[in-house]
Structure 1
Amino acid sequence: MSDKEKMKNEKKPLNRQNSSWYNMSFLDYGEKDSSISVEDLLYDIFKHNDADHLVVGDFLSALWSTGLRNTDPRLSELMQNLQKIQQDLGRDGPGNLENLKLNRDQFKASINENIVLVSRAFRRQFVIPEFEEFTDKIEKFYYTCKEIDTGKVAAYIPQLERMSPNYWGVSLCTIDGQRFSIGDVKIPFTIQSCSKPLTYAIALNELGSEVVHRYVGQEPSGRMFNELILDHNKRPHNPLVNAGALLTSSFMLTLIRREMALSDKFEFVKSFLKRMSGGEFVGFNNAVFLSERENADRNYALAFYMRENKCFPEKINLRECLDFYFQCCSMEVDCESMSVIAATLANGGICPTTGDQVLKPDSVRDVLSLMHSCGMYDYSGQFAFTVGLPAKSGVCGGLLVVIPNVLGIALWSPPLDQSGNSVRGIEFCKELVSMFNFHRYDNLKHAVNKQDPRRHKYETKGLNIVSLLFSAAAGDVTAMRRYKLSGVDMTQSDYDNRTALHLAAAEGHVDCVDFLLKYCGVPPNPVDRWGQTPKDEALRFNHSAVAELIQSYMDKKPIAEEPVEDPKAKSKDQGSIGSIF
């Protein structure tokens, strides 16, 4: 059972504050008394009732809910310190860490070495601050896609054909190392074509873009991924089709680390992936490798065609090159390790869980650019249009998705569509961008209103209300127009239930009142905590024109005088968007 599931099943409050660590302003508490250390603050929050101890399980459950895991390398000192205290207590001590009780000094000593990361977690300073709410939606997407039963498992390699079509796993890792997994995430699978952007990244990192693209292009081919075709310069179109991947494999044999033996070069690539995964599972499936080699007529034809056109570096051994390519495709990962690899790409080449700078930022930029335009076989253009994220799929059913500066996602489900992409994986991506503003162009000025999980829900709502009410009180119609375009709820109220219409009416801003009633459709008679309506406010401050305007909307009939025209509404066509905004 996962840490998240354990927390859901545990109905008791985390501590005497009943999860107050979540609701309180962690920064404000610290600012009240600068002499209070973060360690003391955490102890006071989690200590058990009035006793002079805390239960470790309460503290760890809250920590894991932020997205961190007990296997996180950055928390190794914390876990070792807790285990040492447990061991020191001997047989008379508690049976597991969850029941371990610590006094103030023990607790402070335990977390001291990891206090920066722990502090960031509880201050909600990770890229996804409301992580549990976010993963609840990911879980819903998972179960929605699980019901899909279309697609066929790849059959050209016997080992792939034996995979169950029911396998379905989703793992994600943010650039801050927040983790979530659901489904068949620990079953190994070969990465197949998902290896192509990774070997390309290694080539860029070792040789530089200028050398690599002397041999391979950067354009979508518009043809099948394994077609016998080159571009007008007699080069493979890009590194993510088979021809281009064969070429980047040849770099490993001829241009990169020339002094290495062939076996060491494969180990070099594997260790690169291991570093990208933060030391998590990366293996090799020899049966798949042998099967790949036995069913490689098209790849052999491609290699000979490319050698005929002098695509390869000099002194290439074609058989070794093909074997190396098949070996790279036959490396194994699981969803969990591949999600960290994706997160390393999302994080500019730095592994989130170890802090290891595995790839240069420029190399990552070039990889993501081609993943965005060429990563999904014949579906690449459509995927870029509908999903708008860098991704790479493989016939194993794997799908590596990168949301730059946010997170990486690994999806695995063997049934494929006609283009060779995971059916469930594609649908999951569509569900993801339909709710969250992760599409590359969702952040344009007038983009549709979607959820942004990178923002704190309380902060976002609070700032929206304050800004909206301030603009209404100031009579700033231009600002209110921006809020309306951005999808802000114009009926929001403050803690006294006073709305933007209340404040605009009290200040006598006829144009603001007209905009809110006519173009935003807000209710004309909301009541604040004192029972006052916007009309009451207008009459109270002798704004008769405003009161008459509000009354006309309450009566649902026009008043004698024309309402004040929105100064920005220049269009004569009152039904057009331009006339409203």
Structure 2
Amino acid sequence: MTTKTIATLSNEGTRSVKNKGVSSEGTSIIDKIHAAIRLIENNMKFVEYDLLAQNPRRFEELKKILLKVNKLTNRVVIPVSDESFKSAIDRLAMEFSDEDSGEVASYIPKLAEANPKDWAVSICTVNGETHSFGDHTKSFSLQSVSKVFMYALTYELIGVDKINERIGTEPSGRPFNSMDLDQSNKPFNPMVNAGAIMLTSLYRPKEEFPDRYRKSVEGINEFAYPHSTGYDHLVYLSEIETAHINRAISYRMLANKAFAADVDIEKNLAFYTQNCAMTATTDVLAVMGATLANSGVNPISKKRVISENCCRDTLTIMSTCGLYDYSGEFAFKIGLPAKSGVSGALLIVVPEVMSIAMYSPKLDTCGNSVRGIKFAEKLVQCFNLHPYENFTNSLPSNIDPGDAQRQIQEDSQEVPTT
């Protein structure tokens, strides 16, 4: 069987090792670490996904070596440039093509028309490399995934303190459309409907409605460059006509004096619903997510879209609250920032590595894509993407990089290459 050399440890794709105050001696340490990386580049072979079943011992040995590199470089090692990695992604996605559990969202009539067989996966790395599988050119409405980007845009305008005055940061443990508020009569967080409706009222509140919407689209498109989002007016009409719960949430917050005094409830609800009706493909959404993975810099335009602090806090909210009342279990199993929408969209961010955008309209009881969740669980298992994976497989913190280099060399020689 032909194997391929790891291609991700190139200068472009590798995050620099953090030099925290070590001077002249630190340089030699970093040189040793990079020498170890080059050693692996030259000697290691990428184990194809099917070898997980064919040769588990070989896979486990390789995994240990990659974990050591992760520890030394503070970076997840994934062969994103390698054709074998792309094939592995395709095979993982194919595993769930026949997954038939879940139901298409029916409470919004237009969403009920979605094809339950649609299944797409797109990946975009922090250096702009992309790969896609399935129906990746098919548009869908972002629905609640838009909340992530509206949060970031509002944060940049008014700052986190102003947002936190009116919206909490706690997971609610309740369904996404719950009318419950916290003890201070605030929405629990900006990723549930109540919080996102409140957040909408904080975005350019003094400007005219058309200008507010235009600027929100322009802002979101900076995440998506060179692509742009679309808009489905039929989804908007279908959603606004059946927005009884969202309207009830809005008036409950008004009754509890949660809004600013001059908020027009109906106009605010219309603006919120228009944002939900923005459309994208998984190709577009993957670039949007990669901007978050890249500390707020679009990986293709190289333009900073949001500040590092804004990006950090946005990813934190996604980690704790992004999947409604499934957020805790998702954090336990997968551990990565994510946001779902009832259209079947699911966005996962691997900070400083890549984003994964998925679309499959059949949902579980929490409103999350069934295929998307199952694919994410398998992906994390296969590529050690859980942020705490290294805790049980890492090197001691006081290890000498010279010793580490020698150990890596010894380990790499033990791994069969055929």
TM class by shorter chain equals 0.7 to 0.9
Q: 1:162 aligns with which of 89, 113, 138?
A: 113
Change (3 A) 1:318 1:147: same
For the pair 1:148 / 2:106, whether they are aligned, the reply is no
Change (3 A) 1:167 1:464: farther
* Contact 2:336–2:348 (CA under 8 A) maintained in structure 1: yes
Q: 2:407 aligns with which of 452, 467, 472?
A: 467
For the pair 1:393 / 2:333, whether they are aligned, the reply is no
**Match of residue 223 from structure 1:** 174
RMSD: 2.5
Q: Pairwise mapping of residues 513-552 of structure 1 onto structure 2 (< 5 A)? A: none
For the pair 1:281 / 2:232, whether they are aligned, the reply is no
Q: CA deviation at 1:159?
A: 1.1
**Match of residue 126 from structure 2:** 175
Q: CA deviation at 1:330?
A: 0.3
For the pair 1:422 / 2:362, whether they are aligned, the reply is no
Change (3 A) 1:280 1:248: same
The aligned amino acid for 1:312 is F
* Contact 1:127–1:176 (CA under 8 A) maintained in structure 2: no
Unaligned residue ranges in structure 1 (runs of 5+):
1-18, 27-125, 449-462, 471-487, 495-581
Q: 1:302 aligns with which of 230, 249, 259?
A: 249
For the pair 1:203 / 2:150, whether they are aligned, the reply is no
Q: Pairwise mapping of residues 34-53 of structure 1 onto structure 2 (< 5 A)? A: none
More contact order relative to length (CA 8 Å, sep ≥ 6): 2
**Match of residue 435 from structure 1:** 382
Q: Describe the superposition over 1:170-189 as per-residue Cα deviations: whole angstroms up to 9, x where unpaired.
A: 00100000000111011110
Q: CA deviation at 1:151?
A: 1.1
* Contact 2:80–2:125 (CA under 8 A) maintained in structure 1: no
Q: Describe the superposition over 1:140-179 as per-residue Cα deviations: whole angstroms up to 9, x where unpaired.
A: 1110011211111111112111110110000010000000
* Contact 2:172–2:324 (CA under 8 A) maintained in structure 1: no
Q: Describe the superposition over 1:347-396 as per-residue Cα deviations: whole angstroms up to 9, x where unpaired.
A: 11110010111111111111110111111121111000001110000000
Q: CA deviation at 1:314?
A: 2.6
**Match of residue 214 from structure 2:** 267
Change (3 A) 1:464 1:215: same
* Contact 1:400–1:409 (CA under 8 A) maintained in structure 2: yes
Q: Describe the superposition over 1:173-217 as per-residue Cα deviations: whole angstroms up to 9, x where unpaired.
A: 000000001110111100001111111111111111111101100
Cα distance in structure 2, aligned partners of 1:261 and 1:334: 29
Q: Partner of 2:110: helix, strand, or coil? A: helix
Q: 2:196 aligns with which of 220, 245, 248?
A: 245
For the pair 1:189 / 2:136, whether they are aligned, the reply is no
Change (3 A) 1:169 1:229: same
**Match of residue 324 from structure 2:** 377
Q: CA deviation at 1:129?
A: 5.8
Q: Partner of 1:418: helix, strand, or coil? A: coil
**Match of residue 330 from structure 1:** 277
* Contact 1:349–1:364 (CA under 8 A) maintained in structure 2: yes
Q: Pairwise mapping of residues 61-140 of structure 1 onto structure 2 (< 5 A)? A: 128=79, 130-140=81-91
Q: Partner of 1:359: helix, strand, or coil? A: coil
* Contact 2:81–2:129 (CA under 8 A) maintained in structure 1: no
Q: Describe the superposition over 1:418-476 as per-residue Cα deviations: whole angstroms up to 9, x where unpaired.
A: 1111010001101111111211211225369xxxxxxxxxxxxxx98943677xxxxxx
Q: Describe the superposition over 1:31-73 as per-residue Cα deviations: whole angstroms up to 9, x where unpaired.
A: xxxxxxxxxxxxxxxxxxxxxxxxxxxxxxxxxxxxxxxxxxx
- TM-score normalised according to structure 1 size: 0.56
* Contact 1:253–1:316 (CA under 8 A) maintained in structure 2: no
Cα distance in structure 2, aligned partners of 1:199 and 1:220: 18
Q: Describe the superposition over 1:521-573 as per-residue Cα deviations: whole angstroms up to 9, x where unpaired.
A: xxxxxxxxxxxxxxxxxxxxxxxxxxxxxxxxxxxxxxxxxxxxxxxxxxxxx
Unaligned residue ranges in structure 2 (runs of 5+):
12-76, 396-402
Q: Which runs of at least 4 in structure 1 moved beyond 4 Å after TM superposition?
A: 126-130, 463-466, 488-494
Q: CA deviation at 1:489?
A: 7.3
Q: Describe the superposition over 1:402-430 as per-residue Cα deviations: whole angstroms up to 9, x where unpaired.
A: 00000011100001111111010001101
Change (3 A) 1:438 1:493: closer
Cα distance in structure 2, aligned partners of 1:137 and 1:127: 12
Cα distance in structure 2, aligned partners of 1:281 and 1:391: 21
Change (3 A) 1:149 1:308: same
For the pair 1:343 / 2:290, whether they are aligned, the reply is yes
Q: CA deviation at 1:131?
A: 2.8
